[in-house]
């Protein structure tokens, strides 16, 4: 009866055409980009406005029904997998750019706006949105905020949190708050930064104020081929140590290059086992001054081939090849796990060597594609789920990579989040007191723990906290209610 009551009330908030409560329609929402995890939700709603989202969250809070906010479902850690007996709040219809102010260099967008759409809208004004995940054509700003996404150019420009100035959010208790604002200057606790990367455990972003940057006037893009991955990794450390700050530095191994080449024909260096993409950007004078220094490093790095992008078209072909690598690997294997860990740049060469050894030991191929500039590894572990035991071997190999990252002083995630996939590894990186502090913060925003429960934290969460009257953060003057 309780389920019927909840669903009937939910149906009164969302039109029938934008609610899925049974049948095959739920299948599209039971998993995200990490298809090893799948849960069938009780229902899916597709709100069209912020008010509809708020009404649905308040209903979930009243009935104690868990919910998961979802954009395009490109999460690679199981972060947007539904919760059993819970609902999915799909935000793709909320895809409006509410305001674009080229003078102030800001854009205010709804959570369903795609990453690339922001740059396209800003381009006529000579501006762009800097974070550029490989899935930027389809991934949404709301999802980028939830997982603090980065991309190829995060070395120079930083992650999503560095470009989100303000948020209008509905917390899991249904209260609506403004975090941050439209200014680069702020005072008090950085709750906007706290919300970025919270993986949907606090609530849902309804409006996001983004910082826009001027487009670079000049680019110099170089492909360098190496006979080993370790040499490519060591070159990254040499470039950073020199004081140069390229716009991007990316590495692909032979397996990833072959897949991307078949899809895009980007002319990656033939006969090489690894390819380093380095891109300088800035004013023509700045790029001209940095080119000789970069060339000197590459000449001394043991590269077996160096190729400079011929023109803008060639440059875009190179980047299309790099950004299509994840999907292109599907040509090589029916299934794969995309891992996401971070090691210090000085340890890149050693990390790649150890991944190669683990690959041979498990008898599974690994295609390496990663943001070399900040040590963010994205090894793609290839397996065939139709073969008994292969998924388990792939997961074991993925776990070994995460443990290696921790041992080297890195992190279990760079931008894909913890989600379901990595929560068992959180205690290896943080102590019990650290994790409990994280959980206390989570419960301040979500006292009933209904916002994306079961993610990030290992095992069962601690009992929910309750209060009456003002929200504790509101009473402390940290957040303001709309």
Structure pTM? 0.91
Q: How confident is the model at residue 6 (pLDDT cuts 50, 70, 90)?
A: very high
265-289 tens-digit pLDDT: 888 998 999 999 999 999 999 999 9
Higher pLDDT: 328 or 412? It is 412
- Domains annotated for the chain, with CATH where assigned, are 97-215 (3.30.465.10), 216-415 (3.40.462.10)
Terminal C-alpha separation, the chain: 34
Residue 50 has a pLDDT of 98
What does the pLDDT read at residue 179? 96
* Residue pLDDT, tens place only, 197-222: 999 999 999 999 999 999 999 999 99
How large is the average pLDDT for residues 461-466?
36
Distance of CA 347 to the CA centre of its chain: 23
User: Is pLDDT at 472 greater than 50 in this prediction?
Assistant: no
What is the percentage of the chain residues whose pLDDT exceeds 70? 95
Q: Is the pLDDT of residue 47 over 50?
A: yes
Tell which phi-psi region holds residue 248, choosing left (phi > 0), alpha (psi between -120 and 50) or beta.
beta
pLDDT at 264 over 70: yes
Return mean pLDDT, the chain. Answer: 91
């Amino acid at each position: 009866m309780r389920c019927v009551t909840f669903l009937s009330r939910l149906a009164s908030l969302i039109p029938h055409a934008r609610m899925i409560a049974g049948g095959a329609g739920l299948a599209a929402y039971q998993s995200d980009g990490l298809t090893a995890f799948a849960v069938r939700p009780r229902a899916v709603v597709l709100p069209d406005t912020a008010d509809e989202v708020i009404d649905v969250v308040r209903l979930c809070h009243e009935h104690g029904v868990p919910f998961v906010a979802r954009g395009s479902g490109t999460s690679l850690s199981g972060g947007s997998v539904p919760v059993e007996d819970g609902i999915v709040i799909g935000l793709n219809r909320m895809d409006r750019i509410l305001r674009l102010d080229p003078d102030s260099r800001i854009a205010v967008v709804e959570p369903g706006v795609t990453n690339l759409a922001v740059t396209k809208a800003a381009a006529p004004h000579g501006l762009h949105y800097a974070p550029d995940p490989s899935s930027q054509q389809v991934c949404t700003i709301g999802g980028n905020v939830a997982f603090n996404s980065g991309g190829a150019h995060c070395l120079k420009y930083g992650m999503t949190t560095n470009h989100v100035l303000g948020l209008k959010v509905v917390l899991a208790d249904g209260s609506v708050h403004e975090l941050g604002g439209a200014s680069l200057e702020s005072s008090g606790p950085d709750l906007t930064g706290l919300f970025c990367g919270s993986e949907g455990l606090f609530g849902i972003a309804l409006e996001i104020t983004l910082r826009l940057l001027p487009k670079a006037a000049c680019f110099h893009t170089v492909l360098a081929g190496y006979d080993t991955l370790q040499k490519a990794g060591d070159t990254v450390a040499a470039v950073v140590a020199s004081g140069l700050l390229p716009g991007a530095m990316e590495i692909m191994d032979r397996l990833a290059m072959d897949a991307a080449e078949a899809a895009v024909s980007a002319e990656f260096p033939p006969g090489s086992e690894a390819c380093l993409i380095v891109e300088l950007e800035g004013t023509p004078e700045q790029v001209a001054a940095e080119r000789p220094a970069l060339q000197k490093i590459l000449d001394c790095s043991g590269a077996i081939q160096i190729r400079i992008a011929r023109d803008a078209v060639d440059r875009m072909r190179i980047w299309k090849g790099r950004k299509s690598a994840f999907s292109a690997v599907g040509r090589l294997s029916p299934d794969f796990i995309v891992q996401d860990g971070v090691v210090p740049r000085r340890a890149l060469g050693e990390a790649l060597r150890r991944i190669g050894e683990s690959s041979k030991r498990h008898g599974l191929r690994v295609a390496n594609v990663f943001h070399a500039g900040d040590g963010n590894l994205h090894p793609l572990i290839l397996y065939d789920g139709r073969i008994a035991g292969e998924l388990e071997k792939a997961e074991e190999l993925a776990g070994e990579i995460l443990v290696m990252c921790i041992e080297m002083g890195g992190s279990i995630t760079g931008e894909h989040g913890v989600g379901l996939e990595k929560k068992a590894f959180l205690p290896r990186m943080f102590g019990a007191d650290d994790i409990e502090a994280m959980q206390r913060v989570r419960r301040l925003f979500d006292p009933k723990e209904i916002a994306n429960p079961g993610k990030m934290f290992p095992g069962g969460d601690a009992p929910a906290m309750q209060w009456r009257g003002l929200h504790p953060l509101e009473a402390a003057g940290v957040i303001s209610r709309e």
